[in-house]
Amino acid sequence: MDATGTPFVAFFFGTTNVGSISTGNGTSTSYNTTSDYRLKANYVSIPDAAVSLQRIKFYQGEFKAAPGELAHYVLAHELQEVVPSAVTGEKDALGDWHPLFRDGYDPADVQDGDILDVVQEIVPQAVDYSKLVPLIGAALQEALDRIAALEAKAAA
């Protein structure tokens, strides 16, 4: 939000604000998802959060577009089995077909040898990692409760 409390960008579903991009003091950017209790119903504590969190596989590896650069990530289709709301798209989805041209071809005068292959584009799945925060928080709370119980038992 700027100094007057107005977001720079706001997102709506119908007439309900569901998120925004703002900066409160000009030193950081906030990507906000609406979380007002007045917009929610039927909420309970996350059951067995630690069990769910342990089902998520976390990896270290590379993206093909950045070889040699290590990143930490999950695989969207695997995460979709545990936290479907954190994943958009379909596993193995494909889009349009398009030609793969040789380097240096003339787009105004395509010749037979200019087309090396015809490939179908990948329509990748995406992950919203922020959707994992409530599960991670609840799992941590469960773990801290278990630690406190064990400490109390050891002290007795």
The pLDDT value recorded for residue 4 is: 47
The pLDDT value recorded for residue 5 is: 57
The pLDDT value recorded for residue 2 is: 44
- Per-residue pLDDT of 15-74, as tens digits, reads 988 999 988 777 788 888 989 899 899 999 999 999 999 999 999 999 999 999 999 999
- Give the residue with greater pLDDT, 51 vs 1: 51
- Per-residue pLDDT of 63-115, as tens digits, reads 999 999 999 999 999 999 999 999 999 999 999 999 999 999 999 999 989 99
Cβ-count burial 124-142 (b if 16+ within 10 Å, e if not): ebebeeeebeebeebbeeb
Domains of the chain with bracketed CATH: 1-43 (no CATH), 44-155 (1.10.10.10)
Residue 1 pLDDT greater than 70, yes or no: no
The pLDDT value recorded for residue 128 is: 96
Task: Provide the residue type at 48 as one letter.
Answer: D
Nearest to 125 by CA among 79, 59, 82: 79
94 neighbors 122 (Cβ within 8 angstroms) = yes
* pTM listed for this prediction: 0.78
DSSP β-bridge partners for residue 60: 72
